[in-house]
Chains A and B, each alone.
Chain A
Amino acid sequence: MGLGFTILLLLKGKHYSVLDPKGFIGLRERKLMITATLMSMIVVLPVFIMTVFFAWNYRATNKNAVYKPDWDHNIAIETVWWTVPLILIVILGVMTWQSSYELNPYKPINSTVKPMTIQVVALDWKWLFIYPEQNIATVNYIQFPENTPIDFEITSDAPMNSFWIPQLGGQMYAMAGMRTHLHLLANSLGQFNGSSANISGKGFSGMKFLAVSTTRLDFDKWVQSTKQTPEVLNIEQYQVLAKPSQNIPPSYYGSTDKTIYNWVVMKYMMPNTKMPISKDQNNPTETDNMNHDNMQGMGM
């Protein structure tokens, strides 16, 4: 009792990011979580009740209970506990199949608002975000307009990481030489914590970032002010940034070399990929068709 009370006290006023989603995907993931838990109770509750009842009623000291030492099977009862869980699993299986498609992180989110792309590079030990459409870049900070579908294009120039913003829903691995996708949408304004969920070395715990959802107007303002930043993310700056460093505060680049993201992905695929030439900013090398962009066809 005391233990339960202490736990309740501890839980007061906490923030349950997974259970308090502010994003389209996260909301549906929570709904699924609750449905599946309730369905499991159909099996779990009888187990608990029977455990207590059988153990108590058939305790050795209870001489009134009927003792049948050789009673060891009953086709009807056994059929029930093969079939009931099986039916539950069939229902849950259908839900799984459907939700795997609906909430497929690679699937663009339906919306009347034009989607936006943010490219994500996991580095030792910080997150680099490139906004190809806005031509800016940030470190350990992202801002985006609410109700806008966002396509996170994720890669790594470091060990494997996992890109996760719990309140928006879902996470996706960031891997060198690979490009994974995660589509998210924030339903409301707010500041959300993001982090890496996969151990990547010494500075792993510090790989945190802030994801801020604002109005379209505020977002545009923010882009404009960021563009005033003198720093340019070109290949030289990238290589300075890519050097291992820990717990670094947010920073901003007023303009970027658009070819950097592809170069980061491709340099592992083709060792002799040339470094992009900084001047040629408006003509990205198209290497998309050659990388492992879309894994959805894998093995199927």
Chain B
Amino acid sequence: MLANIFGKLTLKAVQHGPIIAVAQLTMLLGVLSAIGLLFYLKRWKWLWKEWLTSLDPKKIGVMYIVVAVGMLLRGTTDAAMMRAQQSMSVGTSNGFLTSDHFQQIFTAHGTIMIFFVAMGLMFGLLNLVVPLMLGSRDVAFPFMNSTSFWLYVGGAVLINLSLVLGQIGATGWLAYPPLSELAYSPGVGVDYWIWSIQIAGIGSLLSGINFIVTILKMRCKGMDLMKMPIFLWTVLGSMSLVAFAFPILTATLAMLSLDRTLGMHFFTSDSGGNAMMYVNLIWAWGHPEVYILILPAFGIFSEVVATFSQKRLFGYKSMVWATAGITVLSFTVWLHHFFTMGAGPNINAFFGIMTMVIAVPTGVKVFNWLFTMNHGRVHFNTPLLWFFGFIATFTLGGVAGVLMSVPAIDFQVHNSLFLVAHFHTMIIGGVVFGYFAGIAYWFPKVFGFKLNEQLGRYAFWCWTIGFLTAFVPLYILGMMGATRRLDHYDASMGWQSLFIVAGVGVLIIGLGIAFQVLQMIVSIKQRKSNLDITGDPWNGRTLEWSTSSPAPFYNFAILPEVHDRDAFWDMKYGSSKSTKSTNYTNYTDISLPKNSSAGIFIATFASLFAFSMVWHIFWLGILGIVGVLVCLIIRLSDDETEYIVSAETIAKNESINLSKKATH
């Protein structure tokens, strides 16, 4: 009887080899020491009130980034283990991992890096910046925003739980059937994979809708669409892609789970199922996903280059059209992920050419950034260094991308390490470098002090050199015919030395991450000497720099009105038709959303439901669904979700900020 209560879950689920036992213990100790520390410092109440239940997008943004950084550490550890195995497992040696374990590691690595690191950093930055840049006090749906975040956390918890209880799939990060079907993957691994990204993916979809509405409806007075900073355009493009692409992911995962849980035949080999349909669907989401990640990075670079060149962004209209072009085109290229599936030359050539066409607006963006520096005053702060790192790597990755878009060439490099090197160039050189630039750039706005510049440079150089050391060998290995995901190869192939170099590259990247952690610690310790008192540490151009640092919880005491694209620059140096909010003294009451714990409970119940679907604990599944519905009903029946900040409070707060500036 007891066995049935917990479905397929038995004590066996926790028993693995020594390597996983170490990981399990580390995670357990980490969680326990965090809990212990909170008790010791008596910070539970503070954590709950100030952070966990907060609907302030700036706090939600910080929490996103904290979780994403935690996941980055895990994803990088996975990467290091993979390269270590590939450096050792040659000829008669089989390395230290079994093939099954190795395959689980790369599945976890890909899934974690895309869904929980890249997406987490992106939504974190969006939450920090979008409302401020719009001259707005919040996102359109603050409660939904918190729910999105907690669903993301739910997914992250679930995928980490798979390490402790059970396993993750050994199918690769996109789990192609029929390998991911019950016939070939009978364990709970694929189910963990499905449900952790299903939960996180629904959160992403909600966030996408939220930011679209926020940008379309909550711009401050005077900010018509063609006066929006480019970052907001790229976010609008990216979030439109989220709104169109994520439902495809949700439906595809749902069909795969129906196959696995209820014995249906959407993607099985037999009974009329068709795995090729899955491959189409998953990439119809998967390709736009790449642009979902890269577009905001393009936006960040646009702001960073203009700010640190002390000059208007070159070719704004070109940039808007390039962004729109990339957004639309990204839905017309998904088939280039499987030219080798047997489609005819018409289809392959069409999708190949559409892929190349995307290189045109992307190239336009690069030239516009370069001409922004032309006749500017270029300051080499860390955010701009990341931009140079991006240009160096991304351009080369782009060439590899154009090569692979030619179907006849793709047949020779598909699924090889050349492909792996290509997409890591785009994701690390493009997305990750972009988000790091954004974090360094906006950090003072959120915390009120700048990050240590020196350590930031060290981190940058480690990342760039480490990246090249880790991935140039993979391009070469691809040319030598090395396929991806190999846990073992023959010594006669001559690949070992290059795998070792790639492994060293991962270590150098690890050193870069260590410098970033150190940078954070040192910057917090020395914050007194790096304080951003003016609220405008970089001589910025856009509205977020017009308010004090750290940005007050109401963002702007008086909502700004803008007359120019570079609204804050115009306030500072322009013919100044713009109003500078801090000059006003006639403050009015502001209504802001109250804290809410509903998002946490909804995500908890949703995660319980997901967990129950993994282990077939059906009573828990029902509890999960009912819990979500009850929480929603309670929250939606609450009419008083906002509170008033009185004009006096704001006046008091603003005068403190003003006097700080005056004494500076």
Contacts and interface: CB of A to CB of B under 8 A. Distances in A.
A47 B391 contact: yes
Interface stretch (A12-20, A211-219, A227-235, A280-288): A12-20
Interface residues of A, number: 104
Interface stretch (B247-255, B363-371, B445-453): B363-371
A206 to B, nearest CB: 7
A36 interface: yes
Nearest to B274: A177
A65 B171 contact: no
Interface stretch (A48-56, A140-148, A254-262): A48-56
A100 B366 contact: no
Contact of A18 (B100, B312, B347, B413): B413
A110 B155 CA distance: 54
Nearest to A41: B399
A167 B473 CA distance: 20
Interface stretch (B119-127, B373-381, B631-639): B373-381
A205 B375 contact: no
A295 B574 CA distance: 62
Contact of A73 (B178, B314, B501): B314
Interface stretch (B56-64, B348-356, B578-586, B645-653): B348-356
A101 B345 contact: yes
A112 to B, nearest CB: 24
Interface residues of B, number: 102
Nearest to A160: B176
Contacts of B79: none
A104 B357 CA distance: 22
Contacts of A32: 406, 408-409
A82 B360 contact: yes
Interface in B398-429: 398-399, 402-403, 405-409, 411-416, 418
A295 B274 CA distance: 14
B270 A268 contact: yes
A58 B377 contact: yes
Contacts of B395: 44, 47-48
Nearest to A44: B395
B344 A295 contact: yes
B461 interface: no
A88 to B, nearest CB: 8
Contacts of A19: 479
B629 interface: no
Interface string B255-297: 0000000000000011100011000000000000000000000
Contact of B179 (A78, A103, A200): A200
Interface string B293-312: 00000000000000001111
Contact of B356 (A93, A164, A175): A93
Contacts of A106: 342, 344
A13 B498 CA distance: 13
A71 B269 contact: no
Given A96-B353, A176-B178, A205-B486, A82 B340 contact: no
Nearest to B565: A72
Interface in A1-59: 3, 6-7, 10-11, 13-19, 26, 28-30, 32-33, 36-37, 40-41, 43-44, 47-48, 50-51, 54-55, 58-59
Contacts of A97: 349, 353
A67 B408 contact: no
Interface stretch (B7-15, B132-140, B487-495, B520-528): B487-495
A68 interface: yes
A100 B359 contact: no
B411 A298 contact: no
A58 B469 contact: no
B594 interface: no
B102 to A, nearest CB: 9
Given A17-B480, A199-B171, A205 B376 contact: no
Interface stretch (A113-121, A126-134, A189-197): A189-197
A270 to B, nearest CB: 10
Nearest to B399: A40
Given A17-B480, A201-B184, A92 B406 contact: yes
Interface in A137-167: 158-160, 162, 164, 166-167
B389 to A, nearest CB: 11
Contacts of A187: none
Residue from B176, B375, B409 whose CB has the most chain A CB atoms within 10 Å: B409
B313 interface: yes
28 contacts: A7-B501, A15-B480, A16-B479, A40-B399, A58-B377, A60-B377, A60-B378, A70-B312, A71-B311, A72-B313, A72-B316, A82-B318, A93-B356, A96-B405, A99-B406, A100-B348, A104-B345, A159-B177, A164-B481, A171-B340, A175-B275, A176-B275, A197-B414, A197-B483, A197-B484, A298-B347, A299-B347, A300-B344
- The 3 A-B residue pairs with the shortest CB-CB distance in the complex, in nearest-first order: A296-B344, A166-B481, A170-B411
